[in-house]
Amino acid sequence: MSKEDLLKAFAGYAPHADSAFLAKAYDFAVQAHGNQSRASGEHYFGHCGAVAEMLLDWKMDLPTVAAGLLHDVLEDTPVTPEELSAQFGPEVTRLVQGVTKIATLKFPSRVDAQAENWRRMLLATAEDIRVILIKLADRLHNMRTINFLDYERQRRIAEETMYLYAPLAHRLGMFEIKGQLEDLAFEVIDNRSYRQISGEMQSRMAAREELLKSFQEKIEEVLKPSGLPCRLLSRTKSLYSIFQKMHRQGKPLSEIQDALGVRLITDSVANCYALLGLVHAHFKPAAGTFTDYISLPKVNLYQSLHTTVVGPGGEPIEIQIRTEEMHRTAEYGIAAHWRYKGGGGANDSHLEEKLNWLRQWIEWLQDLKNPREFLESLKTDLDFNQVFVFTPQGEVKVLPAGATPLDFAFAVHTEIGSACVGALVNNKMVKLDYEFKSGDICQILTKSGSVPKKDWLSHVKTARARSKIRRYFREKGIAL
C-alpha cells in the first residue's frame, strides 16, 4: 500500500485526524527497515504496510495504525524505545513494545520464550486491547505468506496460530479473523484434509448456491409486504469448522447441512424479532434449533438470533438475524468497539466492562510460573469446547471441557473452593476429579477450617482455580 493510498483510506473515516503523523510513521518505518527483505524476497516494509492496511479495514484510530506501521522496528531494526518515544510519543511506543517479542536466545528453551512472550503480550493487552488487535493483524499477514518458510517453521507457526491466536480471536468475538486464521493453519497442519474439503466444497457450491438463491428470493417475497428494512447475506462456514463438525458428528461433508446459510441484517432489535416471527410464519422451523443470543449475548460480545428452517427443497437452512451493529461486532468483535469515533479512540461506555473478563483471566494466568503449565492453561482457557454446569439454584457456570467440581467450586467463590471437601453431582457423590457433562447440577460440600490440598493442582483445568490454589500455598510459604 502506497503512502498516498494509506492516508486516503485513513482520511475516509477520520477526516479530522492528523494525517501528517501517519505519514511520518510510514516514512520512519521504511527508513528503519532499510534494505531488509522477507523470506518471499519482498521488501520487509511490505509486511508492515499490510498490517496497517488491515487496521485501516477495521477503522482503528491514529495511534493504532501508526503502531501497525512501526510494529517491527524495535524487534528487527536498531531503533530503540527511547528513539521511538521521542519521535512518536509514549502511546505508540507502548503499543509497539506490547507486540515486540523477546529474543529466544535469552531463554533456556523455545517453550520458555514462547510462554514469556505470550505473558508479556497479554499483560500489555490487559492495559490496552489495541495491542492484541495489532498482533492479530500481524499474525494474519504472516500466515498468508507462510508458504515461503521451510516446513518445520511453517508447522510450528501454524500450530501456535491454531491453538492460541485463533481461539483468542474467538474470545474477542473476531469471527472473521478467527476463521481466516484457522483455515490458513489447517492448510499447513493437515493439507490433505484441507484440499479434500476445499475441493468438495467448490463442487457443492454451485448446487447449494442455487438452493440459497431460491430461498433468498422466497424470503424477499415474504418480507417485502412487511416493509421491514433488511438486507440478505449468504454465509459460508470456514473449511476448518466444517472439518471439526465432520469429525465431531462422524459424518461426511455431504451430510453437514449448515455449511451454507443466510443472514438477515436489519436496523433494530425490535425488527430482529419481527423478522424472526415472519420467517417462522412462512417456513417450518426445525425443532430445538432456535437460540437467542440477543437477550443472552456470548461473553465475547456476539449477538444474533439463530434458527434453522426447512427450505423450498426440503433442506434445512440456518438463518442468523442481527442488526448492522451486531453484524460489525460479529465480524470484528472487540475491534468494532474500538473503531475511530471522531473524538479519538473508543468511546464505547461499556468497553471497560466488556474487557473485565480478559483482565481477570490474565491476572489468574500470572500466577503460573512454569512455562509449560502457563501455555497449557492458556490453551485450556481459550478452548471453546465448553460444558454448562448448574448450581442447585439454577445459575449456570460455563467451564472448559474436562472441568471438575474443584473448578466449579472456585468459579462460584474462592472461599467455597478453598473449603471444598466433596461434591454432589445430580444428587450423587462424586470424586473431586469427576469431569462434568453439560447439564450437570453440582452442589459443593464445604467444611469450616478446610484448606486446599497440593494434589488439587492435578484435578483442575481452569487458570482461575489453579491460580487460587497456588496463591494459598504461596501466602503460607509452602513450596509446591
Top pLDDT among 425 and 380 is at 425
- Domain end call among 190, 206, 229: 190
Q: Are residues 143 and 250 in the same domain?
A: no
Distance (Å, rounded) from C-alpha 429 to C-alpha 420?
13
DSSP annotation of 457 reads G
Which backbone phi and psi does 72 adopt, to 5 degrees?
-110, 5
Q: Are residues 94 and 178 in the same domain?
A: yes
Q: Please give the average per-residue pLDDT across 468-480, as a whole number.
A: 86
Top pLDDT among 384 and 411 is at 411
- Domain end call among 334, 367, 402: 334
Q: How far apart are the first and last CA of the chain?
A: 53
Q: Please give the average per-residue pLDDT across 248-259, as a whole number.
A: 74
291, β-bridge pairs: 306
In a domain, 147, yes or no: yes
| pLDDT band, residue 24 (cuts 50/70/90) | very high
Domain ranges, residue 225: 192-334
Q: Are residues 171 and 203 in the same domain?
A: no
Q: Are residues 174 and 202 in the same domain?
A: no
Q: Look up residue 154 and give its three cell numbers.
A: 511453517
In a domain, 398, yes or no: yes
The pLDDT score that the predictor gives to residue 192 is 94
Catalytic, out of 76, 190, 200, 367 = 76
The pLDDT score that the predictor gives to residue 257 is 61
In a domain, 433, yes or no: yes
Q: Are residues 243 and 198 in the same domain?
A: yes
Q: What is the pLDDT of residues 285-298, one digit of tens each?
A: 988 889 999 988 87
pTM listed for this prediction: 0.77
The pLDDT score that the predictor gives to residue 350 is 53
Q: Which residues contact 41 (CB under 8 A, 6 or more apart)?
A: 148
The pLDDT score that the predictor gives to residue 354 is 57
Share above pLDDT 70 across residues of the chain, in percent, rounded to a whole number: 91
Q: Please give the average per-residue pLDDT across 108-133, as a whole number.
A: 83
| pLDDT band, residue 68 (cuts 50/70/90) | very high
Residues 214, 208 contacting (CB under 8 angstroms): no
The average confidence (pLDDT) of the chain is: 86
Top pLDDT among 447 and 317 is at 447
Q: What is the CATH number of the domain that holds 198?
A: 3.30.460.10
Residue 59 — left, alpha, or beta (φ > 0 → left; ψ -120 to 50 → alpha)?
Answer: left
Top pLDDT among 226 and 368 is at 226
CB neighbourhood size of 376 (10 A): 16
Q: Are residues 105 and 237 in the same domain?
A: no
The pLDDT score that the predictor gives to residue 218 is 86
pLDDT at residue 258 greater than cutoff 70: no
Catalytic, out of 75, 348, 367, 435 = 75
Q: Are residues 80 and 171 in the same domain?
A: yes
Q: What is the CATH number of the domain that holds 22?
A: 1.10.3210.10
Q: What is the CATH number of the domain that holds 448?
A: 3.10.20.30
Examine the residue annotation and report whether 75 is marked as an active-site residue of this protein. Answer: yes
DSSP labels for 277-293?
HHHHHHSPBPTT--EET
The pLDDT score that the predictor gives to residue 344 is 42
Top pLDDT among 450 and 330 is at 450
Q: By mean pLDDT, which of 9-13, 275-279, 318-322, 467-471 is the weakest?
A: 467-471
Residues 282, 226 contacting (CB under 8 angstroms): no
Q: What is the pLDDT of residues 354-365, one digit of tens each?
A: 566 677 777 777
- Domain end call among 313, 334, 355: 334
In a domain, 380, yes or no: no
Nearest of 257, 276, 249 to residue 315 by alpha carbon: 257
Whole-angstrom CA distances from 408 to 119, 430, 432 are 25, 13, 10
Nearest of 396, 473, 475, 346 to residue 59 by alpha carbon: 346
In a domain, 369, yes or no: no
Examine the residue annotation and report whether 255 is marked as an active-site residue of this protein. Answer: no
Whole-angstrom CA distances from 428 to 135, 425, 431, 443, 459 are 47, 5, 10, 10, 19
Q: Are residues 159 and 82 in the same domain?
A: yes
- Spatial strand order in the sheet of 305-310: 231-236, 260-266, 316-323, 305-310, 291-292
Strands 396-400 and 428-430, how do they pair? unpaired
Q: Are residues 251 and 292 in the same domain?
A: yes
In a domain, 361, yes or no: no
Q: Please give the average per-residue pLDDT across 19-32, as a whole number.
A: 96
The pLDDT score that the predictor gives to residue 299 is 66
- Burial environment of residue 431 by CB neighbours within 10 A (0 to 12, 13 to 18, 19 or more): exposed
Residues 306, 204 contacting (CB under 8 angstroms): no
pLDDT at residue 437 greater than cutoff 70: yes
Residues 401, 408 contacting (CB under 8 angstroms): no
Report how many domains make up the chain: 3
Q: Please give the average per-residue pLDDT across 126-141, as a whole number.
A: 91
- Spatial strand order in the sheet of 420-425: 428-430, 420-425, 442-446
pLDDT at residue 97 greater than cutoff 70: yes
* Exposure string over 207-245, b if 16+ CB within 10 A, otherwise e: ebeeebeebbeebeeebeeeebebebeeebbbbbbbbeb
The pLDDT score that the predictor gives to residue 190 is 95
Q: Look up residue 57 and give its three cell numbers.
A: 479495514
Beta strands in 59-145 (DSSP E): none
pLDDT at residue 199 greater than cutoff 70: yes
Q: Please give the average per-residue pLDDT across 431-441, as a whole number.
A: 92
Q: Look up residue 395 and give its three cell numbers.
A: 445459575
In a domain, 367, yes or no: no
SS3 content of the chain, % helix, strand, coil (to 5): 60, 10, 30
Q: What is the pLDDT of residues 317-360, one digit of tens each?
A: 889 999 998 998 888 877 776 665 544 444 455 556 556 667 77
Rg (CA), the chain: 25
Residues 60, 339 contacting (CB under 8 angstroms): yes
pLDDT at residue 52 greater than cutoff 90: yes
In a domain, 206, yes or no: yes
- Burial environment of residue 120 by CB neighbours within 10 A (0 to 12, 13 to 18, 19 or more): middle
Top pLDDT among 348 and 196 is at 196
Strands 386-390 and 316-323, how do they pair? unpaired
Q: Are residues 469 and 330 in the same domain?
A: no
AA letter at 22: L
Q: Please give the average per-residue pLDDT across 139-156, as a whole number.
A: 94
The pLDDT score that the predictor gives to residue 346 is 45
Q: Are residues 219 and 171 in the same domain?
A: no
Residues 259, 237 contacting (CB under 8 angstroms): yes
Q: Are residues 211 and 141 in the same domain?
A: no
Distance (Å, rounded) from C-alpha 256 to C-alpha 243?
10
